[in-house]
Structure 1
C-alpha cells in the first residue's frame, strides 16, 4: 500500500492528511512534539536529524516538507532545515513536495504567475527564492524528484497564525474588530487550506508536476473588505475591523518578533495581490472551493472550537 510522510503537524498537514485518507493512502505525520492528527500515524522526530529522518521516510512514496522554523528565524534556520530534508530524501524514490508561499517573487504590479522571476529582496522572500533554486538544482541534477505548491495567505480549519486566522475570525465571531493590514479595498487572493492540501496531494501523485512550482487554486479574488463582509454575513455578525499600521507593528515588534517580521511583507496588502493558478488548473483541475462555502466551513470550525 502507498505511504506518504508529512513533515510538520500544522494546519497544512491536517489538510494533507484529510486528502490522503480520502484516497486510502497511509500517512505518517512527523513532528518534534509528536502532535497527533486523526487518520495519521504519529512519529516524533526532529527533521534536523538527517540519519533518523532517512529511516522514518524509508520506503515511502512521497514526502511533504511542511515544517518550518519560527517566522522571525527563516534566514538563519530554514535553509538548514530544508538541506536536512533533501539529504534524507536524496537517493530514495520518494517525491519531495515543498510546501511554499509567494514571497519569492517580491512586489509585482500584475497577477502572479509561476513564470515570474524570483527576485525578492526581503529577508523572507530572498530565503524562499534561494531555497527553491536549491531544490530545482537538485532535480535538474537527477538527485531528487521534487515539486512545489505555492499558496497565498491561507485560512480555514486549524489555521490560527495567519493574517486571516485567530485575530481575524476569532475577533469577528466575538463581536470585536477583525484585524487587517494595508489597504482593505485592494484585491487579495486568499487560499483555503483544504484546497491547498488537496493540491499538494495531486502534485505528489502526478509525475507531470515534477521539476517546477505550481500556484494552487484559489476562489476568485476579492478585496479584504469584501472577504470580511462575506464572513460577517455568513456568521450573522457586524463586519467591524481595525487596520494595523506599520508604526503599530513596529512598536509591537519590540516585544513580539513575528510582528516585526511582518512589516516587510505589507506590500502584499497595500496594492492588489492577485494569484493566477491557471497553469495548475489546466493540468490538475480547478478544485477551488467557492468562497461562501469555505468561509462557512471556517466559521463552523471556529465556533466548534471556542477555547482556541
Structure 2
C-alpha cells in the first residue's frame, strides 16, 4: 500500500506555504502545487506547476492525492469573477483522485454579527466577497453531502506570520513599522480583533486533513485571545525595537483613498470587521480534537517581524 499523499494547492501563498511546512514537519508525503517556481520548500517535498483554475490543471495537480488542501485563490479584487470557477475545478480534481478536500476559508460568509463568530453564527453575508465565500462553502458541503468526496472547511480571521504578505497585517502594518512610517489601520484601534498566526492555521488545517471527525463539517480555527489593533501594533513595534505612530482610518477617508488604491477600496466591502469587535469562538474545534495549542503571541510576533525584516523590509523612509 502506497504512502498517503497530501497535495497543497496554492503552495506559494501564505497559508499554502505554511501548510506545506506543517505537513513536512509531521512526516507526510507532500506535493506543493503552484503556478510559478517553488521557493523555500522543506526537504522531501515534491513540486508541480499547474493552473488549478481549470479542470485539466486541477486533475493533474490532484492526481494520486489522499488529501488535498485548497489554499489557492485568485487576486483579491477578482474573487467574484474567478473564485467560484476555481473552486469548482478543485472539487473536480479532488473528486477524480478520490481525495479528501480541506478548504482554507475565512469568516466573510457570516457578515456583521453581535458577539464572537462561531460555526453556529448566521450565514448572512452583506458583502460581495462574503456572498462568494458562502456560495463556495455551500457547494463544497453539498459535494460532501452528495457523496462525491469528503470535505472539511477551516475558517480563520486576518492572518500574520512568516510568508504572510497578502493580509492587511503583512502587506501594510508590519512593513510600516519596520520602515518607521505611521501605521494606518482600517477602522477603530480600540476594539478587539482576532488575528490568526499562519503556523497555527496550518497546524489546524492539517489536523482536519488527518482526522475523520472533521469530514462534512466546518470549524473556526483556534486563535489566541483577540487583542485590540492598538495593542497588536504596539507588540509588533516592541518586537521591532521601534516606537511607532498609528492612526485609525475612517470609512469616508478609506473611500477617498480607494479612488486611487484598489486594495483600500476592497476593504470597504468588509468594513464591519474593522469598525466593531471581530472575534472568534473556537470551542467546537477544541472539543472535537482536544486542546489546541496556539503559539504565544510574543513568539509569533517576533517570528513575523524577523521574517519581514529579512524578506520585505525597506530602508527607513520616515
Q: TM-score range by the shorter chain?
A: over 0.9
Measure the CA separation in 2 of the matches of 1:219 and 1:24.
26
Identify the range of structure 1 (4-13 vs 228-237) with the bigger mean alpha-carbon deviation. Answer: 228-237
Question: Map of 1:265-284 to 2, 5 A cutoff?
Answer: 265-284=270-289
Q: Deviations over 1:34-78 (max 9, x none)?
A: 333412322111112312422332211111111111111111111
Give me the whole-angstrom Cα distance separating, in 2, the residues matched to 1:268 and 1:107: 7
- Retained in 2: the 8 A contact 1:36–1:42? no
The match for 2:16 among 7, 13, 17 is 13
Residue 34 of structure 1 is matched in structure 2 by: 37
Q: How many residues align?
A: 308
The 3-state SS of whatever aligns with 2:169 is coil
Q: 2:211 aligns with which of 197, 206, 211?
A: 206
Q: What is the aligned partner in structure 2 of residue 3 from structure 1?
A: 5
Q: Distance in 1 between matches of 2:183 and 2:25?
A: 34
The answer to whether the 8 A contact 1:29-1:37 is kept is: no
Where structure 2 has 5 or more consecutive residues not aligned to the other structure, the ranges are none
> Can you list the C-alpha shifts for 1:248-304, whole angstroms capped at 9, x where unaligned?
332333333232111121111111111011111122231211111111111111222
Please identify, of 163-172 and 144-153, the stretch whose mean Cα deviation from structure 2 is larger: 163-172
Query: Helix, strand or coil for the counterpart of 1:222?
Result: coil
Q: Distance in 1 between matches of 2:130 and 2:118?
A: 16
Asked whether 1:171 is paired with 2:202, we answer no
CA distance in 2, matches of 1:173, 1:307: 6
Aligned partner (choices 287, 294, 297) of residue 303 of structure 2:
297
In 1, Cα distance between equivalents of 2:124 and 2:312 = 42
Residue 176 (structure 1) shift = 1.6
Matched residue, 1:223 = 228
8 Å CA contact 1:57–1:63 kept in 2: the answer is yes
Give the gaps of 5 or more residues in structure 1.
Answer: none
Give the distance between the partners of 2:238 and 2:261, measured in 1 at CA.
Answer: 32
TM-score, with length taken from structure 1: 0.95
After TM superposition, the structure 1 stretch with the greater mean CA deviation from structure 2, 144-153 or 255-264, is: 255-264
CA RMSD of aligned residues (A): 1.5
In structure 2, how many angstroms separate the alpha carbons of the residues matched to 1:23 and 1:301?
22
Aligned pair partner of 2:166 in 158, 161, 175? 161
Match of 1:110 in 2: 115
Contact 2:16 2:71 in 1 (8 A): yes
Q: 1:131 and 2:136 equivalent?
A: yes
Q: Distance in 1 between matches of 2:268 and 2:294?
A: 29
Quote how far apart the aligned CAs of 1:178 are: 1.8
CA shift for structure 1 position 306:
4.8
Establish whether residue 236 from structure 1 lines up as the match of residue 241 from structure 2.
Answer: yes
Give the whole-Å Cα distance in 1 for the aligned partners of 2:60 and 2:79.
Answer: 26
Measure the CA separation in 2 of the matches of 1:251 and 1:35.
38
Is contact 2:63-2:93 (8 Å) kept?
no
Q: Give the Cα separation in 1 of the matches to 2:218 and 2:198.
A: 18
> Cα distance 1:239–1:258, how it changes in 2: closer, same or farther (>3 A)?
closer
SS in structure 1 at match of 2:144: helix
